[in-house]
Every structure is written in C-alpha cells, then in structure tokens.
A and B are shown apart, each in its own frame.
Chain A
Amino acid sequence: MSGSAATVSKEDVERVAELANLELGADETMRMQRDLNAILGYVNQLRQIDTSQVEPMAQVSDLFAGAEANGHGESLRADAVSASLERATVMASAPETDGAFFKTPKVIER
C-alpha cells in the first residue's frame, strides 16, 4: 500500500486510535474518519511535486552544514552529572506514589 491515495476507513481510524492509546466513542470514530479524509484529501496535492532529488528536512539546522549548523543550535552539551529536581518535588505532582515510585494499576493480569 506504499504511496497509494488512501481513503481512511473506519477500521483505519480504530487501528490508529489503538496505536495512539486513544479510546474513541462510535460518534467520535465517525467524525474523525470524515475529518481525516477531508484533511488527507487536501494534503494529497503534495503528490504534484517531484521530490525524488530532495533530502528530507527534519530540523531547521538541516538547512546548514558544519559550524554553521552549530550556530543554529545543533550543539550537544557535555555528558556530565548535574543537579536535578528533588524526588519529593517530582512526586508531589504524581497521581499515585509511595514516595519512591510512581504507582500504576496492574501491568500483568492473570
């Protein structure tokens, strides 16, 4: 199915919702199917452009090379230990915690 002008089916919406960890109601699935088809229909005009010789651009710094890319924010910091937030400060925002760990419902059932 690579590159075909796809129409989004109800099953596609359900599959993508599952991938994205979203729960959708029946109404919502229908509406999203309609909206995704409208948006992707509009997006399909990109097929008019020949991009066979064009490198993808993921970051603004991809427009520049070498030292210039560094100036545009592609420098990595030293891999050194530094102070971070206290555990208690972080845990204060947690929905459920025992003070040391985040607690969640059961991960493995049976």
Chain B
Amino acid sequence: MREEHEDGSAKLTINPPETSGQLLEKPRSIRALRTAIREGNESATAVAEGYFARIERYNPLLNAYLSLTRDQALEQAAAIDALAGKGDPLPPLGGVPVGVKDVLAMRGAPATAGSRILEGYRPPYDATAVARLRKAGAVLLGKLNCDEFAMGSSNENSAYGPVRNPVDTERVPGGSSGGSAAAVAANLAVVTLGTDTGGSIRQPASFCGVVGVLPTYGRVSRYGLIAFASSLDRVGPFAASVEDAAQVLCVLAGHDSLDATSATQPVDDYATATERDVKGMRIGIPEEYFGEGLDPEVRAAVETGIDALRAQGCEIRRIHLKHTQYAIPVYYLVATAEASANLARFDGVRFGHRSKSATNLSSMYRLSREEGFGAEVKRRILLGTYALSAGYYDAYYRKAQQVRRILAEEFMAAFGEVDAIVAPTAPTAAFRLGEKSEDPLAMYLADIYTVTASLAGICGLSVPCGATAAGLPVGLQVLGPHFGESAIFRVAAGVERAMNGVDA
C-alpha cells in the first residue's frame, strides 16, 4: 500500500498480516459519531487516527485501500474539531471517516480505476460526489480497491490484487466495489462510495453483510467518475445501517450542471423515510428471481425477510417480470459497447501509461493499451467493438437496446401495482477466491438479479438479511421505481429492524 503525502511522494508501508483481534467490526452510526464530536467527548482528529490505526493493522490482509490521504484527512478533522470547539453546529457528515472507490476522482489522491493504465495518475479535481462529501464535513481517508474499470463481480480483476472478504478471508468480497464493501464490513471507514453499473454496489454489499445503495439513474452526478458504461453507471453509498446510507445519499443526491444526465427532481428526506413503518406497503415478489440457480440457503434467508415484512403489515404480492432471463445478454452487449467507446480515451497521449516500446503513433496506442489493460477489460472492449461493428450492429447492439426497453417497461408496469419489489441480491453468498476467475460467463451470471434494475434506471439497494449455515451474509434486494428511494429505504429499514430483533 502506498501512503500519499502532500508533496506527492509515496512511502510503502508493509505490515505482517494480522489476523487476531476484531477484523469484523460494525462502525458506530453517523448520528452517534457526530454527537460525540459535537459534544466534545471525542475529537474528529482522534477518530481519524483510530481509523488509520485500524487500516494499518488490517489492510495488509484485506487489500481494501490502494492509497491513503492522511494529511488531508487530518486537516479536515481539525477543521471539524475547530467548529465543535466553538460550539458551532456540525455539517451533516462532520468528522465522519469516509473511503472512496478508486474510479472516482479525488483531489490530492491517485485514481487508478484498479488499472495499470492509470498508474501514477492524479486527477486535479474532485468528482461531484466527492466534493459533496467534502462540503458535508466528511474526513476522506483514501481510495478503495476495485475491479479494473469496475468490470468484475469478485474484485479479482484489480491490477493491484484482489480484496479479501472480512467475513471469510478465503472468499471474495464481491465486485466491482469490493474494497468499498469490505472497508465498511471491517470498520476501516464509517461509510464509503462505490459505483454500480450492473450490480457493483449491491452484490458486494450482499457478500460483505453491509448496506449498499443504487440510486436512480441521474440522482447522483457521474461527474468525475471514470466512465465504464455511461447509460448505466451510478455512484452510491455503502454503510453499516440503512439510516446511515440514507443520510449519505441525502448529501450526494441532487442536480449537477457538470453531468448532462443529472436529474432535476427534488431530493426527498431519505433519513426520515427510514423511520416510517412499512404497514400497508405493497411488496412485489418476482417469481423469476426465485427460480433455478438460486442457492437454497439464500432463498431461505430472503424468505425470512419477506415474512418479517408481512408480519409488519406489508401486503405481499407474487408478480412476474417475465423477460428477466434476457437481462444478462442485454447487459453484456450494452455495457461492453459503451465501454469500448469510453475506454478509447486511454491512448497514452494525455495521461496514464505510455508504452516505452512504441516507435510511432499507432504502435503507441496499441502497445500502451496492451500493456495497460488486463484480460477482462480487453475481453469487454473486444466484445463491445464486435457488437458495434458493421454487419453485427443490428443483430447485437440494436437488438439489446430494444430488449432493454422491454425490460424497463416491465418494471414500470410492475410499479403500477406495487410500491417496491423484494428479491435476492445475488444467487449465492460469497464464493471462494479463484472459484470463477477462469470462466467469464459463470462470473457474469453472478449479476443475474442485479443487472435488470441497472438497465431500467430504477433505484435499488441491498440490506443484510441473515446468513448461511457457514455464517456468510445474505443480502435482500429492494427495488423501487425511478426516484422511489424513500420507499426502498422504508422497506429496508423494516427488514433491518427484524434482523436486529427490534419489534416493529
């Protein structure tokens, strides 16, 4: 791991793997932390130092952080302490330690996107989501590991090594936001930012036993997000509780003129939504999400969650989303086509890796990309280029866009009947490192329950809902209509109360 200093120098910190102590630890709530700092019971600086100590201890094992920004974090913490010292009110995330997925630009830190091609690149600006965290008083600890260019479902595609799941370190944390999920599960941050293109927030949240939110497309600005598939990419929070996730989304959401697809819809008070009971809500259970391929233990856990919602007064309705089986093929055509266009910008000219073996412009492009991109990124660029190429465009890309509309409209029709949809987040709990890394198609099928919401642009989240007999967390997915975040937070809070054994 590299520790970043203000002068841009980096020092390698190597610690022996440390497995004793509490690797798995639930962060304190944002509310508790802010109160402690505001009332002077604790300083934001001491809190930040405590997090850096935990990171130093556990990160060599987990590989969740790729770089740390200690100097700026301590400055931010000191500013919060100064506010608290004067008795001033704290901003919404005042003193809250936060980690940021390495596909988002953050001033004063590298942005590798998990790729060799961006090794050493330091963006001179903040992504809008990061700027909003800063403005809200968050303490930015560093950048989190992920699959290269957010392409993957296990974090094994990172050029900087896989992340380990803190629940069982022989297992993957999920992907692509594996570092962001693992960091919250191991209390190496109170909240983190991730990105989700086909399930990259919800699936790792499920695997690591934390809350992960996919906001509606356009709800959170994509400015400063290194683009993978622009019509699908979203930025969203990971947190240890539904309430914390809702509070962070309140900070992140809202219109941004720097992103042409940013929505102008007003932002609801999501945190208040988590306090409302679920009585009378209509919950749809799609048959297609409970069929072949669903692990029986995952099914049992999710059904427990559904029973809890029923017990709290929800009306449970069986529904059909009958084109669901086509979502993976549509996703892998649309996402790779967009990726092939977006990743054309990595050419060795303006930033990032340039091959030393190049003799002319053309070989500089080809060799820089050959040396800089990993196998999965190349595979997706090739697939996307093929799907867009003359003779295949209509059969693949256009066909996928047409079926995308069918899938989206199927969801919109369902939301005429129900307030939210509940399903498993992933067909299995966390799998073992190396288990699927040689079979791209098997890996793609890990996204089977998440990609459809990505294609439709609707919102969703994953909330912890029990565990398998082996103790691996299971996530329950809640999906809502476009800009229906309040509804999904409300449902998720109901599931969370049941799991925590709190009477509704």
Contact = CB atoms under 8 A, between A and B. Distances in A.
Contacts of B405: 54-57, 62-63
B93 to A, nearest CB: 25
Given A23-B366, A38-B440, A95-B348, A12 B358 contact: no
B391 A1 contact: yes
B333 A22 contact: no
A87 to B, nearest CB: 11
Contact of B383 (A2, A39, A57, A93): A39
A20 B340 contact: yes
**In the A-B complex, the 7 residue pairs with the closest CB atoms:** A60-B457, A56-B401, A73-B218, A57-B405, A95-B354, A51-B402, A23-B370
Contact of B441 (A13, A42, A46, A51): A42
Contacts of A57: 401-402, 404-405, 408
A76 B344 CA distance: 24
A22 B382 contact: yes
A36 B383 contact: yes
Interface in A16-66: 16-17, 19-24, 28, 31-32, 35-36, 38-40, 42-47, 49, 51, 54-63
B231 A60 contact: yes
A102 B350 contact: yes
B122 interface: yes
A46 B395 CA distance: 9
Interface stretch (B82-90, B151-159, B189-197, B254-262): B254-262
B124 interface: yes
A60 B362 CA distance: 36
Given A20-B340, A95-B348, A43 B263 contact: no
A72 interface: yes
21 contacts: A6-B395, A19-B389, A20-B340, A43-B332, A43-B396, A46-B330, A46-B399, A46-B403, A49-B406, A51-B403, A54-B406, A60-B231, A63-B405, A63-B408, A63-B457, A71-B263, A73-B264, A77-B257, A93-B350, A104-B361, A105-B364
A71 B263 CA distance: 5
A101 B349 CA distance: 10
A72 B361 contact: no
Contacts of B123: 93
B383 A17 contact: no
A105 to B, nearest CB: 5
A37 to B, nearest CB: 10
A17 B379 CA distance: 10
Q: Tell me if A's interface is mostly helix, strand, loop or mixed.
A: loop
B435 interface: no
B6 interface: no
A46 B400 contact: yes
A60 B265 CA distance: 14
A92 interface: yes
Given A46-B330, A49-B326, A93-B351, A20 B391 contact: no
A109 B412 contact: no
A12 to B, nearest CB: 7
Interface in B34-64: none
A36 to B, nearest CB: 6
B381 interface: yes
A40 B332 CA distance: 10
Given A2-B391, A71-B263, A73-B218, A19 B385 contact: yes
Nearest to B393: A2
Given A20-B344, A54-B402, A73-B263, 8 more contacts: A45-B329, A46-B330, A46-B403, A63-B457, A93-B351, A95-B349, A104-B364, A107-B361
A34 B409 CA distance: 34
Interface string B361-388: 1111111011001010011011101100
Interface in A72-110: 72-77, 85, 89-90, 92-96, 102, 104-107, 109
A105 B394 CA distance: 37
Nearest to B367: A23
A73 B260 contact: yes
Given A17-B382, A20-B385, A23-B369, A60 B218 contact: yes
Looking at A47, A57, A92, which has the most chain B CB atoms within 10 Å of its CB?
A57
B217 A60 contact: yes
B325 interface: yes
Contact of B329 (A2, A46, A59, A75): A46
Contacts of A49: 323, 326, 403, 406
Contacts of A56: 398, 401-402, 404-405
B444 interface: yes
Contacts of A92: 122, 124
B408 A85 contact: no
Contacts of B457: 60, 63, 72
B261 A73 contact: yes
A32 B440 CA distance: 11
Contact of A85 (B124, B259, B398, B412): B124
